[in-house]
Amino acid sequence: MLARRIIPCLDVKEGKVVKGVHFENIKDVGDPVELAQRYEEEGADELVFLDITASYEQRETMIQVVEKIAEVLTIPFTVGGGIGATGQVANLLRAGADKISINTQAVLKPELISELAEMFGSQCVVVAIDVKRTWDRINRRSYWEVFINGGRTPTGKDALSWAQQVEKLGAGEILLTSMDTDGTQTGYDISLTRKVAERVRLPVIASGGAGKLEHLLAILREGKADAALVASIFHYRYFSIGEAKAYLQKRGIPVRVED
Amino acid sequence: MIAIVDYEIGNLYSIFKALERLGEEVVVTNQAQEIREAEAVVLPGVGSFEKAMENLEKKEIKEVIKENQEDGKPFLGINLGLQLLFEKSQEAPRKKGLSLLPGEVVKLPPTNKIPHMGWNRVYFKKNSPLTRDIPQGRFFYFAHSFYVLPEEPQAVVGICNYNVVIPAIVNHDNVWGFQFHPEKSSVWGMKVLENWVRSWKK
């Protein structure tokens, strides 16, 4: 049976991991390579690196970081942030990334998804969707709206139909972030994730809101997510990946643990 | 020297690094001559069956791979590289595969989430030098939408279950294929690669 995945997410700025990451025995707490290795040893199923600066000059830095990460990791990893051109994707994959994640450019130019899927295969095209519950004043109803530019720009797009469109265009996975729960550590958005997971036949990675192990259980069970993206829980050492997986396994969620 | 066939498809760096970590001399190449001279050949690959076959034909690598098989040279296909070894694929019904192994490549049933993406347990159907020191039911990393159906059931060395039985390790004489990515499958992935190298290395 396919295991549900636990995926630590690292924000990278100018070649350094920026969100507070509290590991002991690590010389440079912001070194993405050391952290990547540490998370693999702890049992991470995959890693996601988000380049949160992604200005033109800094893309070169990211390529170098990706090369160094690929040298040490033997689990898959995804790179996202500011990706909009097929040449850029080719460079990241050549540097050793297994998947890339696109967000804003996918919304602005949906055919980019098909282009990338055709060129590199669907399995390496992750479409990230940032979603916020919004009140539609005309139809007097609330809906899940897609946001771009790091959550700054509303698009008026309905997240559920966008997810379906993304699937048709050839995406291999959806990375679904709820802006309502992101950073709150009060739990993932279960109803949003479940709705999306039921609408598409693609794997869905849920993101935003994990603060306790119960949240992981809820998103994988009730939320029907295939994978959970986690930041604070692991970065601040509330729990180790091993503890999280043992907790889930005990409650009947299939996870990758050595038995 | 192990030659990794470069036919402009996907991430070759990880498999290169993995083999290098085992202490092997490795070259990534699209030159027929270099592939011909190598001690063993790895055909990696992600992406589309049709485009991959076109690239292999264009670079005359297809012929070298066939020669290799006749010479009994160790050969390993990974993911799409495994699927290309068969005669045909539902992914590109009009494109002929390398046809080193009898059988075809079919689409995963639509009732499954596609791609089959993530870690799944692999069970061995028989003992072989490649499965040495690897217990039953270890996790390996998969990322694919099609899977192989060998005509000869005895070619299947290992399987995994994704609502259908998927051949995960396939073997016929000197030709081996993995549906999973050993270079992305952490400790057990490295072990199965090491076993492959040991199986032919003198």
Amino acid (one-letter) located at A254: P
Is residue A256 one of the residues assigned to a domain?
Answer: no
Over 90: is that where the pLDDT of B43 sits? yes
Domain that holds residue A14: 5-250
Closest among A119, A129, A194, A205 to A166, alpha carbons compared:
A129
Cβ of B162 within 8 Å of Cβ of A2? The answer is: yes
- Looking up residue A160, the CATH number of its domain turns out to be 3.20.20.70
Per-position DSSP letters for A119-181, written without gaps between them: HH-GGGEEEEEEEEEEEETTTTEEEEEEEETTTTEEEEEEHHHHHHHHHHHT-SEEEEEETTT
Query: Is the distance from CB of A209 to CB of A185 less than 8 angstroms?
Result: yes
Output the average pLDDT for chain B. 94
Cβ of B46 within 8 Å of Cβ of A118? The answer is: no
Cβ of B46 within 8 Å of Cβ of A74? The answer is: no
Over 70: is that where the pLDDT of A22 sits? no
Is residue A164 one of the residues assigned to a domain?
Answer: yes
pLDDT at A258: 82
Residue to substitute from A74, A220, A259, interface B, most B β-carbons within 10 A: A74
Tens digits of per-residue pLDDT, A136-190?
A: 989 999 999 999 998 999 999 999 999 999 999 999 999 999 999 998 899 999 9
pLDDT at A52: 83
Q: Token pair for residue B103?
A: 């059988």
Q: How far apart are CA A238 and CA A15, in angstroms?
A: 25
Residue to substitute from B119, B136, B181, interface A, most A β-carbons within 10 A: B119
Q: What percent of chain A has pLDDT over 90?
A: 77
Enter the ipTM.
0.93
Q: What percent of chain B has pLDDT over 90?
A: 89
Measured in angstroms, the CA of B183 and the nearest CA of chain A are apart by 6
Is residue A105 one of the residues assigned to a domain?
Answer: yes
Is A11 catalytic? The answer is yes
Q: What percent of chain B has pLDDT over 70?
A: 100
Q: Does A227 touch chain B (CB under 8 A)?
A: yes
Cβ of B189 within 8 Å of Cβ of A173? The answer is: no
Is residue A108 one of the residues assigned to a domain?
Answer: yes
Over 90: is that where the pLDDT of A53 sits? no
| Cβ burial, residue B135 (10 Å; 0-12/13-18/19+) | exposed
Is residue A155 one of the residues assigned to a domain?
Answer: yes
pLDDT at A56: 62
Closest among A93, A144, A145 to A123, alpha carbons compared:
A93
Is residue A169 one of the residues assigned to a domain?
Answer: yes
pLDDT at A23: 55
A-chain CB neighbours of B142 within 8 Å are: 2
Highest mean pLDDT among A14-18, A97-101, A236-240: A97-101
pLDDT at B11: 76
Q: Token pair for residue A192?
A: 């949003």
DSSP state of B96: B
Domain that holds residue B117: 2-200
Output b/e per residue, A226-247; b: 16+ Cβ within 10 A. Answer: bbbbbbbbbbeebbebeebbbb
Q: Token pair for residue A248?
A: 């889930």
Is residue A259 one of the residues assigned to a domain?
Answer: no
pLDDT at A21: 56
Tell me which residues of chain B, numbers 56 to 85, contact chain A at a CB-CB cutoff of 8 Å.
80
Overall number of domains in chain B: 1
Overall number of domains in chain A: 1
pLDDT at A127: 98
Q: Does B118 touch chain A (CB under 8 A)?
A: yes
pLDDT band at B202, cuts 50/70/90?
Answer: confident
Cβ of B113 within 8 Å of Cβ of A202? The answer is: yes
Query: Measured in whole angstroms, how far is the alpha carbon of residue A150 from the centre of its chain?
Result: 13
- Looking up residue B59, the CATH number of its domain turns out to be 3.40.50.880
Is residue A257 one of the residues assigned to a domain?
Answer: no
